[in-house]
Structure 1
Amino acid sequence: MAGVLREDHIAAQNRLRGGLDGVDEDMKCVPADMFVQSAGCLVVDLPHALTLLIWHGKLGIWQIPKGRRNIGESMIDAAFRETYEETGYRVDRLKVNMRTRASIPKDERQGKKVDVAEVISDNEPVAACTYECPQSAERGVMKTVFFFPASGDSTSERDLDTQEAHEHLTPQWFPFEEAIAKLTFQAEKEAARKIIELIQNSGHVLGGANGEKAEEH
């Protein structure tokens, strides 16, 4: 998949070298009723090195908690709301060291133009999955799910009756590798692996006494 993406990127660069015709060829207009924006959280219990998945009994699949953004709602608020509604667990933001193509604020750039920024953040999506929306009655509706890292407590008592009437979801905690293996869709496996890798590389103590971020030396 990475090779295909790289080939597509090279092809796009070659087209752009031809001028604005290449931009015009790549640019597509998609009306708001033909795309879905969703968001979710990969929740990690740091002290116990566990992550939270949901079992969709009707479809027989394991997934990362996620759902559609409401009108007027920010992406990160949607991610945490949907995670709570689908699992009953209240979770917190988790800072990670990450690379992003979101722009650095002008007053923080120090006069430099940065295409890919390296930041410590708890409010930026760290991965996204895009696919045709299976819930839509109309073909060709594309869905993009933005995933955020979050911390939670597997030993806490979760709230009940938080799901919508049509949802029959069962939340369950798993060790990291087991969680990745259980996820049904390959793209979500990749998203989970990326988020866990970022958490591990950001100095968070996994399986420690309190899951606090390790001190830098």
Structure 2
Amino acid sequence: MAHGSHEKLNRPVAVKNVATRLVKTEPSKTCNLVRKFKELARRELWTKEDPGRKVDWADDRVWEKIKKEGCYHQADEMLVSCGTVTVDQADSTRPMVLVVYNKNIGIYQLPKGRKNFDEGYPEAALRETSEETGVAVQPLRLRFGSRSTPPRLVPVQTTARVKYGLEDKLTGITEALNKESIGSNPDPATGAWRHIYWFAAKPLGDTRRDESRMTEEEDRNKFSTFWFSEAEAVSRLKLDDEKFMVRITFAYIRNMTASDWASNYEQEE
């Protein structure tokens, strides 16, 4: 194809196994992605083979769009923060969420903080939660769709008895019981491009505040620790993104089945 030409080439389309699809394609019309929790959806998504949005990689305008919308940052221009929506008794009729009150600025918040060097995102979220609340926490597996890929070099049922579903080839989404991030949001509070990654968690033992876990005196003085219902947490939290993370976590909790909870108990044993 000549440089600068916008003519689309006709290419053979690979036939995919529709048994693994969440959404079937209709060649004559646009195919919207069917999503759970539509009232909590923040972005429009579509299937990879949506005829109304199919990308022609031979079209120079595609590459111009990528260049125009690209966003590049050095490491010192970025800040990664990790936090949790920690829920006690998530499988009960009265689940409670862990919240801190920041006395310095006078607002309720979810526990979060910056990632350390050589630390994974989930580990940072659990550590920061413990340090800010005085409550030790562990990951909470919930059922939701993620764009992380299932392990490809191990059997579907591993020695750890973790089962992953099949990736939907049209959407790139795998719905499974997992401990991946429940969401993220940018926060330019420092001038850096800040990303906060949120994880679902639950208490590891006692739910009372233990200040021996709060390694910084500043945190002991700054934060008070509370357990609230979903509704009270949403009403008290200052930031909309944190309210959203609580709402989506509880939506995932309500989506859990008895067999999902049983799988979690088996995994912990």
Q: What TM-score do the two structures reach when normalised by structure 1? A: 0.79
Match of 2:73 in 1: 30
TM-fit CA distance, 1:131: 1.6
Aligned counterparts of 2:130 and 2:256: Cα–Cα separation in 1: 25
Q: Does structure 1 retain, via aligned residues, the 8 Å contact 2:149–2:167?
A: no
Aligned counterparts of 1:111 and 1:117: Cα–Cα separation in 2: 4
Gaps of 5+ in 2: 1-39, 46-52, 157-164, 264-269
User: RCO (CA 8 Å, sep 6+): is it higher in 1 or 2?
Assistant: 1
Aligned counterparts of 1:25 and 1:53: Cα–Cα separation in 2: 40
Match of 1:158 among 209, 213, 221: 209
TM-fit CA distance, 1:93: 1.5
The alignment partner of 2:211 has SS state of coil
Identical residues among aligned pairs (%): 24
1:190 to 2:260 alignment: no
Aligned counterparts of 1:179 and 1:154: Cα–Cα separation in 2: 22
Q: 1:17-166 counterparts in 2 under 5 A?
A: 18-46=61-89, 47=92, 48-107=94-153, 113=169, 115-122=172-179, 124-132=180-188, 134=189, 136=190, 139=191, 141-152=192-203, 156-161=207-212, 162-166=214-218
Q: Does structure 2 retain, via aligned residues, the 8 Å contact 1:63–1:188?
A: yes
Q: Does structure 2 retain, via aligned residues, the 8 Å contact 1:96–1:198?
A: yes
Gaps of 5+ in 1: 8-12, 206-211
Match of 2:48 in 1: none
TM-fit CA distance, 1:110: 7.1
Report how many residues are paired: 198
Deviations 1:44-100 (A, max 9, x none): 111441111000011011111000000110000000000000001111211101111
Q: 1:195 to 1:78 in 2, by over 3 A?
A: same
Aligned counterparts of 1:57 and 1:29: Cα–Cα separation in 2: 36
Match of 2:11 in 1: none
Q: Alpha carbon RMSD of aligned pairs, Å?
A: 3.1
Q: Does structure 1 retain, via aligned residues, the 8 Å contact 2:166–2:174?
A: no
Aligned counterparts of 1:148 and 1:111: Cα–Cα separation in 2: 21
Aligned counterparts of 2:42 and 2:207: Cα–Cα separation in 1: 43
Amino acid at match of 2:141: K
